[in-house]
Chain A
Amino acid sequence: MNLQEKIRILAAAAKYDVSCSSSGSDRANQPGGIGSAAKAGICHSFADDGRCISLLKILYSNHCIYDCAYCVNRHSNDIQRTTFTVKELVDLTIGFYRRNYIEGLFLSSGVINNPDFTMERLVRVARELRQIHRFNGYIHLKTIPGGSSRLVKEAALYADRLSVNIEIPSEGNLKMLAPEKDYPSVLSPMSLIKEGIVQYKEERRIYRHTPLFAPAGQSTQLIIGATPDSDRQILSLASNLYATQNLKRVYYSGYNPTNLYDSRLPAITVPPLKRENRLYQSDWLMRFYQFSVDEIVNDAHPDLDLSVDPKLSYALRNPHIFPIDVNSADHHMLLRIPGVGPKSAKMILAARRFRKLNSQHLRRIGVVMKRAQYFITCHELPTATIQELQPERVRSMLTMDLRKQSLPNAHQLSLW
């Protein structure tokens, strides 16, 4: 099989892994070496589905001994199988990198023979890149569940980021869909890496030349909509992982219908894109807006409201904290205003030291006044806020616009 054909098969096999980020590491180039990592990451292209292409995201092999029902590479699936050689993959990465196609390599694999055998191949690719080619670009390695701790630690020495995918948000459902897997096999490498990072940071304080240990941390992925887990379960798990495992990112992947005959999985034709989007918004609220998971979903509201974003939904459920005065509220409260993001919150804090801000200023700064107007007071005559209008009214006014947009050619009068 020629190389092009292998790329076609193994890239297609890797595409359901949603992570693509090349951020979090600022590895510098060394004399005689090639490559560097940019702290904020760089996207190099955008595929036809609109997702960014930053890394060469590819599998080492799509042979797999496991039979996870949700996975396109499961043992029982009738697809063409192939495997790279280490040299092919290393040369391909360097060749693409030199042409500025990519930021680096994101290498994962189906499990060949046993976890250690597979993990050893992945580590060898990373080692050759780093040591023989003196490659200093970004490397993201997938940790194979069940891989030995020695290999996981070695991987962390070469990789910028490591990840272990949990995939199914509750253990019972994971057992049902992937009988060979369990939570401990996924979580133990995760804890191992976490401890390694903590230890690295301590040693680094004493000795500056401590070798890097997964400088961009680790991430994981959850599949949405393949099992009946509620948004509350998913977000609690994510929040828990951020707190206990120090994860950089949790990715949510709307389940793509990759298994059409298994009755354990829902029969859908399109992935649950809206729900996925709302989960990402909630994730952002937890990471950048100082929200706790209970404020987004709780016993009374175990699932996210698909018609409005989670922050607006929170505001409508908690009208008593509004309106917020943008000229005096602290950072934490500014971040709770629908239509104000972390950037505009920062800009408001800076700008109001010079003068009191009115709605004109806020609009120019970039606050989405369409939403924010019902939740703020600023330096001008008071307008009707959520207190006067009641939450139901605000909700209907804000969703009415959306409905107008989604109606095909509504009220567009013809000129002739």
Chain B
Amino acid sequence: MLEYLYDGTFAGLLTAIFHAFRRKEYPDVILRPQGQRLLFATTHTVETDDVMAQRVLNGIERYGGKTTCEQLLHAFLSQSNNVEILILQYARELFFQKRPIMADLGNSFVLQIHKLDRRVLREVQRVLMFIRFERSADGIYFAPFAPKYDVLPLAVGHFKHRFADQQWAIYDTLRDYGFHYHGKRVEQITINAPAFSRDSGKLSVEMEHENEDDYREMWRVYFRSIAISERLNPTLQRNFMPKRFWKYLTEKKV
């Protein structure tokens, strides 16, 4: 058995693929640092190398186009079990066929990549749907969120375009980092002593803008009022808006 160890970044994985080709060998697993190690395995540790990673990426783009690159990145972000091997298989097939294989859905790993890609994009969509900003005393619109995958970077562009004239910050409470837009650029931030509760996402009272409670309450009134009582359907509601999002949703949290 052969295992590769890499640093858990996408560039690291691409370097690992480069190593596999250069060493003419096929690892059984490619492991993240926190991955489950094999018992009796030869281990090869991959040092992330941007030049090697770029060469692999160029190759993927050359034969598969930009869409394939994006698809593989999204699949990678799903952090699903063994996604690294899937991506390696995909790259091997792509380099062998020298043409886009994205549509070959009869091929099991192409289909798996396709599905992972869609799963991650759906999570991006949910960030756009379920982010709820609260206005703080210093005028920043703040939103904590806990997406299943590390997708905030993919969603930031949308908010930058849409809310170009307001200061906002979105914070991933699971991965403990976020983005702050201050009118010109978006910057990555980490909050050391948070002024908000990680459980409820609520800003502490002195941090909150004075009108904020009014808006919250008006939105809740609207939310209750717009439902038709003869047609209540909580199952359908939960299907579209899974419970894991509720803790940061103004209309649902208590």
Are B129 and A44 in contact, CB atoms less than 8 angstroms apart?
Answer: yes
B106 CB contacts on chain A under 8 angstroms: 351-352, 354-355, 357, 361
Interface residues of B in 191-246 (CB under 8 A from A): 215, 217-219, 221-237, 239-241
Decide yes or no whether B161 CB sits under 8 A from chain A: yes
Q: Chain B nearest CB: distance from A273 CB in Å?
A: 7
Are A53 and B223 in contact, CB atoms less than 8 angstroms apart?
Answer: yes
Q: B104's closest neighbor in chain A, by CB?
A: A354
Decide yes or no whether A35 CB sits under 8 A from chain B: yes
B163 CB contacts on chain A under 8 angstroms: 34, 98
B251 CB contacts on chain A under 8 angstroms: 45
Given A256-B228, A351-B104, A98 contacting B249 (CB threshold 8 A): no
Decide yes or no whether B52 CB sits under 8 A from chain A: no
Are A257 and B230 in contact, CB atoms less than 8 angstroms apart?
Answer: yes
Are A15 and B165 in contact, CB atoms less than 8 angstroms apart?
Answer: no
Are B250 and A15 in contact, CB atoms less than 8 angstroms apart?
Answer: no
Q: Chain A nearest CB: distance from B203 CB in Å?
A: 13
- For B34-60 the 0/1 string (1 means CB < 8 A from A) is 000000000000000000000000000
Complex Cα–Cα for A36 and B239 (A): 27
Decide yes or no whether B154 CB sits under 8 A from chain A: no
Decide yes or no whether B188 CB sits under 8 A from chain A: no
Interface residues of A in 255-282 (CB under 8 A from B): 256-257, 269-271, 273
B133 CB contacts on chain A under 8 angstroms: 98-100
Complex Cα–Cα for A51 and B223 (A): 11
Interface residues of B in 95-139 (CB under 8 A from A): 101, 103-108, 111, 125, 128-135
B141, B161, B217, B226: the one contacting A15 at CB < 8 Å is B226
Complex Cα–Cα for A48 and B125 (A): 21
Q: Chain B nearest CB: distance from A254 CB in Å?
A: 8
B224 CB contacts on chain A under 8 angstroms: 8, 48
Complex Cα–Cα for A119 and B248 (A): 38
Decide yes or no whether B77 CB sits under 8 A from chain A: no
Are A53 and B226 in contact, CB atoms less than 8 angstroms apart?
Answer: yes
Q: Chain A nearest CB: distance from B185 CB in Å?
A: 15
B130 CB contacts on chain A under 8 angstroms: 44-45
Are A11 and B226 in contact, CB atoms less than 8 angstroms apart?
Answer: yes
A42 CB contacts on chain B under 8 angstroms: 125, 128-129
Decide yes or no whether B164 CB sits under 8 A from chain A: yes
Q: B216's closest neighbor in chain A, by CB?
A: A99
Complex Cα–Cα for A256 and B135 (A): 38
Are B230 and A271 in contact, CB atoms less than 8 angstroms apart?
Answer: yes
Decide yes or no whether A101 CB sits under 8 A from chain B: yes
Decide yes or no whether B82 CB sits under 8 A from chain A: no
A29 CB contacts on chain B under 8 angstroms: 161-162, 164
A9, A43, A95, A351: the one contacting B215 at CB < 8 Å is A95
Given A49-B232, A98-B133, A257-B230, A354 contacting B107 (CB threshold 8 A): yes
Q: Chain B nearest CB: distance from A345 CB in Å?
A: 12
Decide yes or no whether A150 CB sits under 8 A from chain B: no
How many chain A residues touch B (CB < 8 A): the figure is 58
Are B225 and A99 in contact, CB atoms less than 8 angstroms apart?
Answer: no
Complex Cα–Cα for A41 and B53 (A): 36
A140 CB contacts on chain B under 8 angstroms: none
Q: Interface centre among A7, A46, A53, A347, by most B CB within 10 Å?
A: A46
Are B223 and A7 in contact, CB atoms less than 8 angstroms apart?
Answer: no
Are A47 and B165 in contact, CB atoms less than 8 angstroms apart?
Answer: no
Are B135 and A50 in contact, CB atoms less than 8 angstroms apart?
Answer: no
Given A16-B228, A32-B165, A53-B226, A4 contacting B221 (CB threshold 8 A): yes
Q: A57's closest neighbor in chain B, by CB?
A: B226
Are B223 and A99 in contact, CB atoms less than 8 angstroms apart?
Answer: no
Complex Cα–Cα for A262 and B85 (A): 68
Are B105 and A99 in contact, CB atoms less than 8 angstroms apart?
Answer: no
Interface residues of B in 73-109 (CB under 8 A from A): 101, 103-108
Complex Cα–Cα for A269 and B228 (A): 13
A209 CB contacts on chain B under 8 angstroms: none
Complex Cα–Cα for A29 and B111 (A): 36
Are A35 and B218 in contact, CB atoms less than 8 angstroms apart?
Answer: no
Given A45-B251, A256-B228, A355-B104, A99 contacting B235 (CB threshold 8 A): no
B227 CB contacts on chain A under 8 angstroms: 15, 47-49, 51
Complex Cα–Cα for A257 and B135 (A): 41
Decide yes or no whether B143 CB sits under 8 A from chain A: yes
Q: A52's closest neighbor in chain B, by CB?
A: B240
Q: A134's closest neighbor in chain B, by CB?
A: B165
A99 CB contacts on chain B under 8 angstroms: 132-135, 141, 215, 219, 250
Are B231 and A271 in contact, CB atoms less than 8 angstroms apart?
Answer: yes
Decide yes or no whether B190 CB sits under 8 A from chain A: no
Are A43 and B223 in contact, CB atoms less than 8 angstroms apart?
Answer: no
Q: A364's closest neighbor in chain B, by CB?
A: B111
B134 CB contacts on chain A under 8 angstroms: 99
Decide yes or no whether A314 CB sits under 8 A from chain B: no
Q: Chain A nearest CB: distance from B44 CB in Å?
A: 33
Q: Interface centre among A29, A47, A95, by most B CB within 10 Å?
A: A47
Q: Chain A nearest CB: distance from B23 CB in Å?
A: 30
Apart from A46-B237, A56-B222, what are 12 other A-B pairs with CB-CB below 8 Å? A32-B165, A45-B129, A45-B251, A50-B234, A51-B231, A96-B218, A98-B166, A99-B141, A101-B132, A350-B105, A353-B103, A355-B104
* Residues of B participating in the A interface, judged by any CB pair closer than 8 Å: 101, 103-108, 111, 125, 128-135, 141, 143, 158, 161-166, 215, 217-219, 221-237, 239-241, 249-251
- Sorted from nearest, which 9 A-B pairs have the closest CB atoms? A50-B236, A350-B103, A50-B233, A11-B225, A351-B105, A47-B227, A354-B104, A48-B227, A49-B231
* A-B contacts, 8 listed (Cβ < 8 Å): A15-B225, A16-B228, A42-B125, A50-B235, A53-B226, A98-B133, A99-B133, A354-B106
